[in-house]
Structure 1
Amino acid sequence: MIGRHLSKSRIQSGRQCHKRLWLELHEPEASQWTPAAQARLDEGTRFGDLARDLLGGGVLIAADHRHVNEALAETVALLALPREQAPMLFEPAFSHEGVRVRVDAFQRHDDGDTLIEVKSTTSVKPEHLWDCAIQTWVARGTGRNVSRIVHGHVDRAFVYETEGDYRGLLKLVDVTSEVEALVPRIPDIVEALKQVAAGPLPLLQTGGHCSEPYECPFLAHCRAAEPPGPAFPVDLLPRSRDLAGRLVEAGYVDLCDVPDDALGNPVHRRVAAATRSGEAFVSGELQGLLADIAYPRAYLDFETISFVVPRWLGTRPFQQLPFQFSCHTESSDGSFRHDAFLDVSGRSPLRDLVDAIVKVTAGAQAVLVWNKGFEGARLRELAGMFPAHAADLRGIVDRMVDLLPIYRRHYYHRDMRGSWSIKAVLPTIAPDLDYADLGVADGGAAQSAYLEACAPGTHEDDRERLRTQLLAYCARDTWAMVRLEHAFDMVSAAPDFPREHQPVPTP
């Protein structure tokens, strides 16, 4: 049956987890792809399409992945032509010993063929070498003399300076020697995976292999079939992968059962103590640290997007580019003003965003953020791109007060489950300020909504709906910081969410 043949991707799935391969073949409907994962796939496809032009063009096999036999026949016919008539093939199909592959690019030479694997990453990764080894073994099995293997990936140093000119974006690396070392191992792997495919469902438990080297789309399906573990497993300890493994080996699965003397890190001890007691840890310094932050206070949050293939001039591949911000400004008398920026035209929003953010933060003595490392890096990058505003943008960074390390040092609730992300902390302090009522409820959804809103084919009504949802989401993030800043006020309660302050973009 065509659907049961092995392919490069299926072999890689089987190398990661036999159960994943079996599910891909027998229960593919159980997979769950997130919008963020789909967006990454779409970006990779765009880079692959562009790579064909950057490689000098050639003949693209017309038959798609659903028409395997047609693709195989088309490939055979083209390879039978004199080399001068078809020196470069894109997506040629090869089949050998029940394994079918499509090669990104296949260049013919008088003395042998060059197999080119294109990846939308910035380096050669070990799993990519296995991809190349599988394809090389199959192509050679059909009689092709593959003498050179090349890995093509994104050159992160590339800057998009001229509209439509992507020369220099694709970086080619010869990986022949590394791949040749793996090719002899492919036959045994293929034979073992054929047995997996033909056998019963492998009885494997979820674990670290579910996310290495790729997040498995069957993870939720597999976990649903497993008995529930402890409410607070040891692996929720922050930055403790090796420690968690040692604790499990020592017989500790539930964090509540771990003795303090097994935890040398004071943060781990604090997390364990709060987990056992059910009472939040609040240091005696927290209230004073928050109260001492100067007025006026600007609570600032960005949403960002990154592209494998840069779309806006002056930007680089994978650069985190702000497309939106929200800012709640608080005066010493307790009053608030809300400003926001969002451009869903699809054009570069960066210059207008910079103008707006400099304007709305101009009078703030303190600019409060959650994770200064990220927000500050974005502003410093913008300062390099817009020299006229460089001093203003760096001044914003200088005035930043990061709430994240304050909370990390001085607060923990067991329901945070080892995380100090704002969405982990907020429900333990302000459960009324939920994200469940929002059309866009997290950063990944915000990126997906932005891409959809900017797409040329999106209906204007849908674009406006997405725009409203994005504005509401980002405003919720900055108001969350307001609530967390005032969570331990000694004199008055934290301010209520100003429902009348509907987010309106800054002109």
Structure 2
Amino acid sequence: MARTYRLSKSRFTAGLQCHRQLWWKVHEPRAPELRPDAALQAVFDMGNRVGARAREEFPNAVLIDFDYRRPLDSVKPTRQAIDAGASVILEASFFEDDIFVAVDALSKEGEGWVITEVKATTRVKPQHIPDAAVQAHVVEKAGLPVVRVELMHLNREHRHPDKGPLFIRADISADVAAFRSDIAGEARAQMQMLAGELPDVEPGAHCTSPYECPFLDRCAAPAPDHGVDELNGIRAKKLDQLREAGIETVDQIPSDFPLEPLWARHRAAVLQEQLIVEPGLHEVLADFRYPIAMLDFETVGAALPVWDGCSPFGSVPVQFSVHTLHEDGAVSHSAYLADGPGDPRPGVAAALVSALEGAQTILAWHASVEKRCLSQLAEACPEHAPALREALGKVDDLLVVFKNHLYHPDFHGSFSIKNVVPALLPNMAYDDLDVSDGQLASALLEQLLCRPEELPEAQKPPLQTQLTAYSTHDTAVMVELFKLLGTRSPPTSPVISST
């Protein structure tokens, strides 16, 4: 007996991006690529919290009990709620044309119904339209006229606790109507594809747009060492120009091919298999006055803000690490992690002013983040504003120094500190840390400070230790990178090897 398949709005939109992705999702639902890591799970959890909060905007609504393991069980209760005269139904579920959908909110309006799709974003995005359109298609197939489709998203102008509405409803009916003519045919094509063997689909731009495919590694051809796509900031037109000339790797680029200075440095490093240091580095370093403070912030960007004056996804500094390098080579360290449950900014500001006292230069990696955090703290904590604004004027970007003067083949086109450190300081790589990336750190900090009730008390001290270790490592690494620059920048600034 032939197996039958069922689409859903998430499956349908996955199929729009790539039939091959959809085939794997349906035929291999337990594939390891589909298991979210901690950071991605935090994103899913955030979406669920926003959805739960959005339900409060629909008082007296009927909530359909929805179990993702048995979604079709929700269809009958939905029909019963409609027949009983419910005017607003949450998780209203329908199954038509082999497509199952659960509508976030379905509201009666006149002789028709309004579909409200909730998204944990601050604006309507192009990828939201197919998602809403497939719901409208199925609801109308179920016999309910749809008079409007709304996308309900977070309001970036909202300030906690009550300045401006938390949510905005955008009418996307026209965009949905324009897309709906494609749904029936695409759904049939997807169902036909699922009944067959794994389809052949060439890798392309769709592999990462609108989302990165979880099965990317299955399809991607082995990348050549130092491929031309590693050139930092290269645009598609220039990339096509290189490839049309038969140039696939950086070392194949002819010496007379016009290159940006950074790309020329990249090419030289690959050809010479060594670290390249450009003239002028010594002069740049000479401008930095001691003591030099290496500063790193960690922030929380809660979708649902909990501190006064904060906006949805507004980054709030809650933790910092400062390693201070003195002219005699001595290094001191200060760190701070907010302890909650109140607004963390006054504590962060006071501790930071003390930690930066006496520093003549402040270095950060990707300093725009640290500058923004200093500005936000100055605005939120007027008693510390003069010292914080003075500190802001001392900030410089260590990443820019590297980008303008050095290149190592093992950077592979990226100046992320996670790429630079393994190449230049292999003994200080992040692999052994329990928390090893900023996205996960932010998610854990949000849980620790915004939702501490979700964490057993016994888990909090180890988590605080792990978060402190991560932030401390960032600035300790910057100290060693800065020292390395000093050893690689004699006044003559020759091009030299890292070995």
TM-score, scaled to structure 2:
0.92
Task: Name the structure 2 match of 1:98.
Answer: 98
Pick the aligned partner of 1:234 from 212, 228, 233: 228
Determine whether 1:154 maps to 2:154: yes
- Could you tell me which amino acid in structure 1 is paired with residue 476 of structure 2? W
Map Cα deviations across residues 402-435 of structure 1 (whole Å, 9 max, x no partner).
1111111101111001111222222222222222
Task: Name the structure 2 match of 1:497.
Answer: none
Q: 1:113 to 1:262 in 2, by over 3 A?
A: farther
Task: Name the structure 2 match of 1:54.
Answer: 57
Map Cα deviations across residues 133-173 of structure 1 (whole Å, 9 max, x no partner).
111111110110101111111110110035xxx86010011
Moved more, 68-77 or 251-260: 251-260
Unaligned runs of 5+ in 1: 494-507
Q: How far apart, in 2, do the equivalents of 1:489 and 1:151 lie?
A: 54
Determine whether 1:330 maps to 2:325: yes
Q: Secondary structure at the match of 2:374?
A: helix
Q: 1:135 to 1:232 in 2, by over 3 A?
A: same
Q: Secondary structure at the match of 2:176?
A: helix
Report if the CA contact (8 A) 2:55-2:90 is conserved.
yes
Moved more, 113-122 or 482-491: 482-491
Tell me by how many angstroms 1:286 deviates: 1.4
Tell me by how many angstroms 1:189 deviates: 0.8
Report if the CA contact (8 A) 1:113-1:144 is conserved.
yes
Report if the CA contact (8 A) 1:117-1:151 is conserved.
yes
Q: How does 1:20-419 map to 2 (within 5 A)?
A: 20-30=21-31, 31-82=34-85, 86-162=86-162, 168-220=165-217, 222-223=218-219, 227-242=221-236, 243-419=238-414
Q: 1:2 to 1:457 in 2, by over 3 A?
A: farther
Task: Name the structure 2 match of 1:5.
Answer: 6
Report if the CA contact (8 A) 1:35-1:444 is conserved.
no
Moved more, 306-315 or 139-148: 306-315
Tell me by how many angstroms 1:343 deviates: 2.4
- Could you tell me which amino acid in structure 1 is paired with residue 11 of structure 2? R
Map Cα deviations across residues 288-333 of structure 1 (whole Å, 9 max, x no partner).
4224411111111011121111122221111111121001122222
Q: Secondary structure at the match of 2:201?
A: coil
Q: How far apart, in 1, do the equivalents of 2:48 and 2:333 lie?
A: 39
Report if the CA contact (8 A) 1:36-1:445 is conserved.
yes
Tell me by how many angstroms 1:490 deviates: 4.7
Q: Secondary structure at the match of 1:201?
A: coil
Task: Name the structure 2 match of 1:447.
Answer: 442
Unaligned runs of 5+ in 2: 491-499
Map Cα deviations across residues 57-99 of structure 1 (whole Å, 9 max, x no partner).
51110132222232000001011123xxx11111100111101
Report if the CA contact (8 A) 1:33-1:217 is conserved.
no
Q: How far apart, in 2, do the equivalents of 1:331 and 1:468 lie?
A: 27
Q: How far apart, in 1, do the equivalents of 2:172 and 2:440 lie?
A: 37
Q: 1:87 to 1:402 in 2, by over 3 A?
A: same
Determine whether 1:420 maps to 2:385: no
Task: Name the structure 2 match of 1:496.
Answer: none
Q: How far apart, in 1, do the equivalents of 2:286 and 2:268 lie?
A: 27
RMSD: 2.2
Q: Secondary structure at the match of 2:378?
A: helix
- Could you tell me which amino acid in structure 1 is paired with residue 80 of structure 2? A
- Could you tell me which amino acid in structure 2 is paired with residue 467 of structure 1? Q
Moved more, 42-51 or 383-392: 383-392
Determine whether 1:471 maps to 2:473: no
Tell me by how many angstroms 1:180 deviates: 0.9
Report if the CA contact (8 A) 2:161-2:306 is conserved.
no
Report if the CA contact (8 A) 1:32-1:217 is conserved.
no
- Could you tell me which amino acid in structure 1 is paired with residue 396 of structure 2? V
Report if the CA contact (8 A) 1:54-1:167 is conserved.
no
Q: How far apart, in 2, do the equivalents of 1:263 and 1:347 lie?
A: 56
Q: 1:240 to 1:447 in 2, by over 3 A?
A: same
Determine whether 1:458 maps to 2:461: no
Tell me by how many angstroms 1:448 deviates: 3.7
Q: Secondary structure at the match of 1:456?
A: helix
Map Cα deviations across residues 254-276 of structure 1 (whole Å, 9 max, x no partner).
22223244444222222122222
Map Cα deviations across residues 438-495 of structure 1 (whole Å, 9 max, x no partner).
22122123224334545324333322111111111111110111111111335999xx
Q: Secondary structure at the match of 2:56?
A: helix
Report if the CA contact (8 A) 1:290-1:486 is conserved.
no
Q: Secondary structure at the match of 1:54?
A: coil
Q: How far apart, in 1, do the equivalents of 2:306 and 2:206 lie?
A: 35
Q: How far apart, in 1, do the equivalents of 2:421 and 2:266 lie?
A: 17
Q: Secondary structure at the match of 1:267?
A: helix
Task: Name the structure 2 match of 1:15.
Answer: 16
Q: How far apart, in 1, do the equivalents of 2:277 and 2:15 lie?
A: 47
Aligned residues: 484
Pick the aligned partner of 1:484 from 481, 484, 493: 481
- Could you tell me which amino acid in structure 2 is paired with residue 460 of structure 1? E
> Sequence identity, in percent?
36
- Could you tell me which amino acid in structure 1 is paired with residue 478 of structure 2? M
Q: 1:69 to 1:425 in 2, by over 3 A?
A: closer
Report if the CA contact (8 A) 1:159-1:315 is conserved.
yes
Report if the CA contact (8 A) 1:404-1:420 is conserved.
yes
Tell me by how many angstroms 1:218 deviates: 2.3
Tell me by how many angstroms 1:217 deviates: 2.2
